[in-house]
Structure 1
Amino acid sequence: MPKIKDLECVLLIDDDKPTNLIHKKVIEKTGLEVEVQALSSASEALDFLTSTGKYEQTDQMSKPGIIFLDINMPGMNGWEFMEAYQQLSDSQKARIVVIMLTTSLNNSDRERALRDKNITTFYHKPLRANMVMDLVNQHFDANL
């Protein structure tokens, strides 16, 4: 599959490391030429997006075009991440499609996610290759 314009990296944010590993494999299975960055905390993800903390000298790293975000995580949860994300500069948020990816069956979580203008959609785990490709086809241009 060719490189996709504005999609150099996919960011997985989930405190469950085996889930991140499985989802990374799913993305690799699509054949997309993207880097997959799997982080186990929302606060670390904010550092990654803003090139701060342990990512301070990494502002040349590929920034994500898609973020798959879990809701229920210790420390900063997905909702708290989104509150902080909304405060980021436009350049730090540029061309990022945020997807809530969760096991939550709570209908209010789905409704809340769909009301948030920074969240594109709400998916239930596990991530599947067709979900990734649907997002890519909807939000990105395959032509460089």
Structure 2
Amino acid sequence: MKLSYMLIDENDLDRFVVRKVIEQTDDRFGNIKTMNNARDALKDIETKSEETNDITLIFLDLYMPLINGFQFVQEFEKLPSFVREKYLIYALTASIDHNDHSRMMRFDSVRDIVEKPLTKSKLTGILQELDTVTK
């Protein structure tokens, strides 16, 4: 299975780190799209929804200006199911607040929460889990 990625984080360094981890860990990745805000990411998903059958992993920061990660997922879940089924959301956060974790995991579209920084080990675990589920 070929995967594409979307990184949604206002922090340039965090996006850089995630991109490098993907490039060094997933030898079958397709496209890596980086977005510095969730509003633009939603627009991109809405307009590109019919262009691909690839699965896209979204790494989503929880706390961003304009639209935070919680608001992003609320809006994402309003999209048609044929759009949502092409995306798997992983929330990235430095927060250890259990309320944040509980709140985010209430959304059907969120697969898991990953503590920042994303590492090769964490990404490998995600990819192995996906391989198991999709076989």
| Shared fold per TM-score greater than 0.5 | yes
Superposition pairs of residues 27-66 of structure 1, within 5 angstroms: 27-34=22-29, 35-51=31-47, 60=51, 64-66=55-57
Contact 2:3 2:57 in 1 (8 A): no
Structure with more strand by fraction: 2
SS of 2:127's equivalent in the other structure is helix
Unaligned runs of 5+ in 2: none
Contact 1:14 1:69 in 2 (8 A): yes
Superposition pairs of residues 87-106 of structure 1, within 5 angstroms: 87-106=78-97
SS of 1:65's equivalent in the other structure is strand
Q: Which residue of 1 aligns with 2:21?
A: 26
Amino acid corresponding to residue 19 of structure 2 in structure 1: K
Question: Which of the numbers 66, 71, 76 marks the counterpart of 1:75?
Answer: 66
Question: Which of the numbers 103, 110, 113 marks the counterpart of 1:122?
Answer: 113
* 1:56-77 CA distance string (max 9 Å, x none): xx95367652111111100000
Distance 1:32 1:49 in 2: 24
What TM-score does the superposition give when structure 2 sets the normalisation length? Answer: 0.87
Contact 1:11 1:64 in 2 (8 A): no
Unaligned runs of 5+ in 1: none
TM-fit CA distance, 1:114: 2.1
Range with greater deviation from structure 2 (109-118 or 68-77): 109-118
Q: Which residue of 2 aligns with 1:134?
A: 125
Structure with more helix by fraction: 2
What TM-score does the superposition give when structure 1 sets the normalisation length? Answer: 0.82
Contact 2:21 2:118 in 1 (8 A): yes
2:11 pairs with 1:16: yes
Distance 1:62 1:16 in 2: 29
Report the number of matched residues: 134
